[in-house]
Amino acid sequence: MTELQPPSSAVWVDVVVTTPAHSGLGDSLTYRSDAPVAVGHLVRVPLGKRETLGVVWAIHAQPPDAQEWAQTRAVLAVLDTLPPLNPRWRELAAFAARYYQRSLGEVTIAALPPVLRELSPDQLARRLKKIPPRRPAAEAPSTSPDSPTPTLSPEQDEVLKMLDCCERPALLFGTTGSGKTEVYLQAAQRLLAQDPAAQVLVMVPEINLTPQLEARFQARFSHLGVVSLHSGLTPAQRLQHWLAAHLGHARIVLGTRMAIFASLPRLRLIVVDEEHDPSYKSQEGARYSARDLAVYRARLESAQAPCQVLLGSATPALESWHAAEQGRYQRLVMPARIGGAMLPKLRLLDMHQQPKHTVIAPALLQALSERAGRGEQSLVLLNRRGYAPVLACHDCGWKSDCPHCSAHAVFHKIDRTLRCHHCGHTARVPRACPECGNLDIAPLGRGTEQIEEQLTGLLADARRADGLAVRVARLDADTTRAKGSLQSRLADMHSGEVDVLVGTQMVAKGHDFRRITLVASLNADGGLFASDYRAPERLFALLMQAAGRAGRDAAFVTSQGSRVELWVQTWYPQHPLFDALARHDYPAFAAQQLAERAAAQMPPYGHQALLRAEARTQQAAQAWLTLAAAAGAGLPGHAHLTLYPAVPMAVQRVANVERAQMLIESPSRPALQAYLAAWQPALQGLRSQPSTKGLIRWAIDVDPLTI
């Protein structure tokens, strides 16, 4: 019998496909390719009984085993009309997979547009024809001729000069309204003028911040190609924008955290706006921090040509502030607002001094009315959406709990529903208490929907400067679901049609409202004594950022003869956090918080990871975590770790799945990483234990934001 020989033109390729870490298949699978292929090419390959997208990670001239080459499955198609993913992008994906303890395929394939995973070579070729051709660099000015460049303030000019010679990650510490966005624009403009092929990535924490930022970049750079990448795009839009970036046709990419994985072959500048925001940390899948990956990616890109990363915030994350204190980051400071605008003055409303059962203090209500009467706008912040957190019966104690979660279903009065904000369960509001039949069930607590309703009634007799009734509007996740609703509400605010805007934290970040002179926070006390050690940092940042929406137009404030103020209703006016807030003194607040964390060896002085387990019963989840702790004994790095006992998560049950977690702490990041990497195989082997039969899934969260 003649022994079969592999085709002379065949090569063997390691292909990364989506395989969960617990599958045991490894980071890549070997296939045979009879067509020319390069490392980084996208390919379509068989996986089990289905066909899937993969990325070529390595090429071998010889089969892995001469006895097995005939059984090696063949690559079905090579998407060679698309340039390969470059080595720096692949290293970014590999690092994210290693550091955040996920399989390489989970990170790599998830970073690609979903539509791309389904396209054949012919379909991809047709999509590529729709991408606008790149304008020759010689014909493209660095800015649009129709968009004049504003004059820089001395602080902005000094920051840009320092940025030109900065070789470290730069932390732009600029107060709200100091002109950080113009610094981003000017830095991009200078770079694009110097390098005709350079690309810029600008990241924002939330989708609702992209419209106004995109408008400013489009006005300045539309002729160079500006695209956005975020989950609010249609699948076709997301693919088109990703392809434009990958091909180098789009010189500027704006996006949320997912944009950190955009393929940008000539990336030279990464801007992370509002870098302190927790939204940059993914809470599902590969729980990565886009801010931290931005710093790492700039280092990778610099291997080809210098790439600068610029982190901007008025309230930097304590980790970033600490890095600047150590000299690892270059701190750039802009303490003054553009045009000489003043920062809001803090006014604390002691709720002990207000009438009983007061929701909105009479003095605040009067101030809102007076501002509307002068043609000014006000912002009322309450970081809880819905009408009320819970419905309750005072006779028998029934509460509107979600049947699938250990959480209350939130009362939404506008459509008379009870909604769980964890699993999405929705039910109609009962006519009477389901337990005792009492007709008098009432809402407990308040959300933005209720505050909007109350303010509308309380301000019914107030009049605007034009004699019309005061208009109250709401901006939260419920009012911005419909397509175009966010842009419509922001336009109403900018045009002056809205006098009082009620909203959650989404109104406190990045918006440039020119007529706001008063910001009020109704319920800030929850963050003062929360069990989460990061709660004070989040509260201070939220109040500082919300205050920054006021008084941004110095000329408008002067013409009105008004005072710019931040009003905070609190039961604890003597709390030290308010002292730093009154002075707008973030450095003092950061120093106090870092001292506390250093004493407790909390981040950034210590390093943490969470092992989370989800199971049919709480007992099974905790039993699996206990076995996991025992399985990790003696592994590399174990001597430098502290493993805490398994406990239920804060929201213990979601969608009928019980959740528990175990905290791992270490003063050494390398020791923690070595332990987690060695722990993974042991964890995968524990799934079959009889005592943990109800285990559904588990995951490791490195550098968690909540514990």
Domain 153-338 has CATH 3.30.1330.80: no
Domain 607-702 has CATH 3.40.1010.20: no
Domain boundaries, the chain: 11-129, 153-338, 341-385+447-599, 390-444, 607-702
Report the sign of the C-alpha dihedral through residues 471, 483, 205, 524, in that order: positive
Whether the CB-CB separation of 46 and 73 falls below 8 Å is answered with: yes
- Residues 46-97: pLDDT tens digits? 988 899 999 999 998 777 665 566 678 999 999 999 999 999 999 999 999 9
How many Cα atoms within 13 Å fall on the side-chain side of residue 31? 27
CATH topology assigned to domain 341-385+447-599: Rossmann fold (3.40.50)
- Residues 178-203: pLDDT tens digits? 999 999 999 999 999 999 899 999 99
Name, in order, each residue with C-beta under 8 angstroms of 189's C-beta and a sequence gap of 6 or more: 142, 143, 149, 220, 221
Q: What is the pLDDT of residue 145?
A: 57
Pick the CATH number of 11-129 from 2.30.110.10, 3.40.1440.60, 3.30.413.10, 3.30.420.40: 3.40.1440.60
User: How many whole angstroms separate alpha carbon 603 and alpha carbon 289?
Assistant: 15
Residue carrying structure tokens 């398994």: 646
User: How many whole angstroms separate alpha carbon 182 and alpha carbon 187?
Assistant: 8
User: How many whole angstroms separate alpha carbon 545 and alpha carbon 521?
Assistant: 12
User: How many whole angstroms separate alpha carbon 566 and alpha carbon 575?
Assistant: 16
Mean pLDDT in order along the chain per 10 residues (707 residues): 55 88 71 92 93 94 66 91 96 97 93 93 89 63 65 94 93 94 96 94 91 90 92 92 95 96 97 96 92 98 95 97 97 92 93 92 96 95 91 93 94 93 94 92 92 95 92 92 86 92 89 91 87 92 93 83 92 94 95 96 96 94 94 94 95 96 97 96 82 87 92
User: Edge-to-edge, what's the strand order for the sheet holding 410-412?
Assistant: 410-412, 417-419, 426-428
pTM: 0.93
Q: Which two tokens stand for residue 254?
A: 């704006």
The 10 Å Cβ neighbour count of residue 55 is 25
User: Edge-to-edge, what's the strand order for the sheet holding 77-78?
Assistant: 29-33, 11-16, 50-60, 42-47, 77-78
Same topology between domain 11-129 and domain 153-338: no
